[in-house]
């Protein structure tokens, strides 16, 4: 079986972008692949977190993972901070990654612009920790949204570089990006991707948002003044984004959507998009409530997942230390 690894940061709650770009596919891949899904809490520390809020959010994030359909009976589901090999391999890989490479990462450039008062070294080396996450598990495929493509390419470069020096230690992973939904845009600024850490709550839909709130957010979504439902990412980024969301939720093609809303205003279209999203997310919200009421179950998932991930990760780390020439503990 081929191995899949992916993760999301508990830097906010799961958005529709995270769901359509990543988590929905993770769920579908569970039967066919050997899947490992991490909650990358260490990555979330690159922006300032309040300890109490953060801990609660991490539990909630796990419940959201499970509510979306990730199944601990099928996949390894765990917190990054519970497996120390992530941080340890990241240090090693830092020594095989160039500052020039990291300077070219668009995520760093964007986040540095947004958090001018906290451009910390972690934000800069974020892609190295991500490379460690992936390489620790000898991953074949990394299902992610479009925005993470550049980081996967860097991961491959680092892995190849290391293997050229020390022999075939790492598997060279490939990005696995969905055809529809790989890049959901902000509802308030459709030239920017939807992000859970956006300060404007109207810019994103959360999988746990109430039906009323979802309807309200879609009604406020920025569009254009043409009043024709037509796909054109450049001239009509807002409408094109809503079409993407509708397509991903209903399986309909852009042509079908254009026909469906021919001659209708944006009001009717926005309402239909909101309804499709409300309907699609409903089971997730219900499952979430159940899960949050059972802390004992969540804790058993956390413990079990950490042990299984630790087993695999520590093997790879040992191999890396050995190849580099670090002295083994006698
Ligand atoms: P943050 O703003 O804190 O970076 P985020 O919403 O970008 O949060 P991440 O945890 O960084 O979420 O990413 C988790 C997964 O979701 C990744 O695979 C990423 O590619 C995917 N993803 C994030 N945003 C989108 C989006 N707008 N459309 C599609 N996929 C997305
Ligand atoms: Mg992100």
Q: Tell me how far CA of residue 318 lies from CA of 6, 87, 88, 233, in angstroms.
A: 22, 14, 11, 48
Whether residue 42 is found in the same domain as residue 131:
yes
Whether residue 41 is found in the same domain as residue 129:
yes
Query: For this structure, is 111 an active site residue?
Result: yes
- Counting the structural domains of the chain, the total is 2
The answer to whether position 142 is within a domain reads yes
Query: For this structure, is 196 an active site residue?
Result: yes
pLDDT in tens, 246-290: 999 999 999 999 999 999 999 999 999 999 999 999 999 999 999
Q: Which atom of ligand 1 is nearest to the CA of 193?
A: 27
To test the ligand 1 pocket, which listed residue (17, 65, 133) has its Cβ within 8 A of the most ligand atoms?
17
Whether residue 160 is found in the same domain as residue 16:
yes
pLDDT in tens, 48-86: 999 999 999 999 999 999 999 999 999 999 999 999 999
CA 195 / ligand 2 centre spacing (Å): 6
Pocket of ligand 1 (CB under 6 A): 8-9, 11-12, 15, 17-18, 21-22, 144-145, 147-148, 182-184, 193-197
Q: Give the pLDDT confidence score for residue 56 in this predicted structure.
A: 97
Whether residue 146 is found in the same domain as residue 285:
no
The answer to whether position 192 is within a domain reads no
């Amino acid at each position: 079986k081929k191995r899949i690894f992916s993760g999301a940061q508990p830097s906010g709650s799961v958005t529709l972008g995270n769901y359509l770009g990543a988590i929905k596919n993770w769920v579908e891949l569970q039967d066919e692949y050997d899947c490992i899904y991490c909650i990358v809490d260490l990555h979330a520390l690159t922006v300032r977190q309040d300890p109490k809020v953060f801990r609660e959010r991490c539990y909630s994030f796990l419940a959201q993972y499970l509510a979306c359909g990730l199944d601990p009976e099928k996949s390894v589901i765990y917190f990054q901070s519970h497996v120390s090999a992530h941080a340890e391999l990241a240090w090693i890989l830092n020594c095989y990654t160039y500052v020039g490479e990291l300077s070219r990462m668009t995520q760093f450039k964007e986040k540095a612009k947004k958090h001018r008062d906290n451009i910390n070294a972690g934000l800069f080396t974020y892609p190295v920790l991500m490379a460690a996450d992936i390489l620790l598990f000898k991953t074949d495929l990394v299902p992610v949204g479009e925005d993470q493509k550049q980081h996967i390419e860097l991961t491959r470069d680092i892995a190849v570089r290391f293997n050229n020096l020390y022999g075939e230690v790492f598997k060279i992973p490939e990005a696995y990006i969905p055809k529809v939904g790989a890049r959901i845009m902000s509802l308030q600024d459709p030239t920017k991707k939807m992000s859970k850490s956006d300060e404007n709550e109207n810019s994103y839909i959360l999988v746990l948002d109430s039906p009323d709130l979802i309807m309200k957010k879609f009604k406020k979504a920025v569009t254009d003044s043409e009043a024709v439902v037509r796909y054109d990412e450049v001239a009509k980024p807002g409408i094109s984004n809503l079409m993407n969301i509708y397509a991903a939720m209903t399986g309909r093609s852009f042509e079908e959507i254009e026909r469906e809303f021919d001659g209708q205003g944006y009001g009717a279209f926005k309402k239909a998009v909101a309804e499709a999203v409300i309907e699609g997310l409903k089971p997730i919200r219900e499952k979430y409530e159940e899960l949050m009421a059972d802390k004992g179950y969540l804790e058993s998932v956390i413990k079990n997942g950490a042990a299984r991930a630790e087993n695999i990760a520590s093997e790879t780390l040992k191999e890396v230390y050995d190849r580099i020439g670090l002295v083994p503990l006698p």
